């Protein structure tokens, strides 16, 4: 009888433990496009500067994601994230 009570107690305790995964604690980053200067030493190479900038951003983003040390946000979501943070800082929302 004591064994059954002990087993039931262990099952009850094990069943009551929450298996909620902890929030991902890796730093969050969002990569924005590198600025493209329209003048300077590379001015003769102007048509390809934007393409090169976009390719470098993609390579950098891919490297960060593959390394796994950061949570990388999509550039398209960056504006939404900034709006959310500004709303929270403004105090216009209720914590409930």
Tokens of 37: 């200067």
**Cα angle at 19 between 13 and 23, to 5 degrees?**
145
pLDDT at position 10: 67
Give the pLDDT confidence of 47-94 residue by residue, as tens digits: 677 787 788 888 988 998 899 898 888 777 777 777 877 777 776 666
Give the pLDDT confidence of 43-57 residue by residue, as tens digits: 555 667 778 778 888
Distance in angstroms (rounded) separating the CA atoms of residues 36 and 45: 11
Number of CB atoms found within 10 A of residue 31's CB: 19
Distance in angstroms (rounded) separating the CA atoms of residues 46 and 55: 15
| pLDDT band of 22, cuts 50, 70, 90 | low
For residue 51, which phi and psi values (nearest 5 degrees)? Answer: -65, -40
């Amino acid at each position: 009888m004591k064994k059954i009570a002990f087993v039931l107690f262990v099952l009850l305790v094990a069943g009551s433990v929450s298996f909620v995964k902890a929030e991902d604690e890796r730093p969050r980053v969002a990569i924005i496009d590198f600025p493209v200067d329209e003048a300077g030493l590379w001015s003769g190479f102007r048509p390809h500067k934007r393409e090169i900038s976009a390719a470098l951003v993609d390579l950098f983003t891919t490297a960060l994601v593959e390394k796994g040390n950061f949570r990388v946000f999509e550039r398209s979501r960056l504006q939404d994230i900034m709006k959310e943070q500004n709303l929270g800082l403004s105090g216009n929302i209720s914590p409930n």
